[in-house]
């Protein structure tokens, strides 16, 4: 009986938790780790509180990256503004190697980037912060996997 009651309370509690209490956010993302550090604008849109889309354009070290991600967001029960998310999305990288590369100096890479992270929406301010592990799985030009990639984001929240 205790197990049934616990399960019912847990299910009710989780169904009442809103994963994300905003619809739109615009900010800056910093992508760092193995390789170049990239910085640029990002935009996040929540479709229904749990499902969101993110787009970003990042620049750094002769690299331009365009990315779009889908994330599933869930709040931690009993917290005010703290949640977790998992997601995945495609990335296009345009790299200018200049004279450092044999043959063509410009390369375009297509990658898939899974992610898992934490986001904190400051309850008393229209600001949200995130930190995630976002490895880079390059599928083109000598495919490789870079596990040591992370991102930090600072967003202004609006509806």
Task: State residue 142's pLDDT score.
Answer: 83
| Residue 103 is assigned to a structural domain of this protein | yes
| Residue 123 is assigned to a structural domain of this protein | yes
Rounded distance between C-alpha atoms, residue 28 and residue 39, angstroms: 7
In tens, the pLDDT along 72-131 reads 999 999 999 999 999 999 999 999 887 666 666 788 999 999 999 999 999 999 999 999
18 band by pLDDT with thresholds 50, 70 and 90: very low
CATH number assigned to the domain comprising residue 92: 2.40.160.20
Which helix (DSSP H) or strand (DSSP E) does residue 152 occupy? strand 149-158
Over 60: is that where the pLDDT of 16 sits? no
Task: State residue 157's pLDDT score.
Answer: 97
| Residue 83 is assigned to a structural domain of this protein | yes
| Residue 10 is assigned to a structural domain of this protein | no
What's the total number of domains in the chain? Answer: 1
In tens, the pLDDT along 45-68 reads 999 989 999 999 999 999 999 999
| Residue 13 is assigned to a structural domain of this protein | no
pTM: 0.82
| Residue 9 is assigned to a structural domain of this protein | no
Higher-pLDDT residue of 159 and 125 is: 125
Task: State residue 159's pLDDT score.
Answer: 83
| Residue 2 is assigned to a structural domain of this protein | no
Q: What residue numbers bound the domain in which 45 lies?
A: 19-158
Task: State residue 100's pLDDT score.
Answer: 63
Rounded distance between C-alpha atoms, residue 3 and residue 27, angstroms: 44
| Residue 110 is assigned to a structural domain of this protein | yes
| Average pLDDT, integer, range 132-153 | 94
């Amino acid at each position: 009986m205790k197990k049934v009651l616990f399960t019912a309370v847990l299910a009710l509690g989780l169904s009442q938790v809103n994963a994300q209490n905003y619809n739109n956010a615009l900010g800056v993302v910093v992508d760092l780790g193995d390789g170049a550090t990239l910085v640029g604008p990002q935009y996040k849109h929540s479709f229904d509180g749990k499902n969101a889309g993110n787009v970003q354009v990042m620049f750094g070290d002769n690299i331009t990256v365009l990315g779009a991600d889908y994330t599933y967001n869930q709040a931690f029960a009993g917290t005010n503004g703290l949640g977790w998310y998992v997601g995945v999305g495609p990335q296009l990288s345009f790299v200018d190697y200049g004279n450092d590369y044999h043959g063509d100096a410009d390369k375009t890479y297509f990658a898939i980037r899974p992610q898992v992270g934490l986001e904190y929406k400051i309850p008393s301010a229209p600001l949200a912060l995130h930190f995630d592990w976002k490895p880079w799985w390059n599928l083109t030009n000598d495919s490789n996997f870079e596990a040591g990639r992370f991102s930090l984001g600072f967003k202004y929240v609006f509806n």
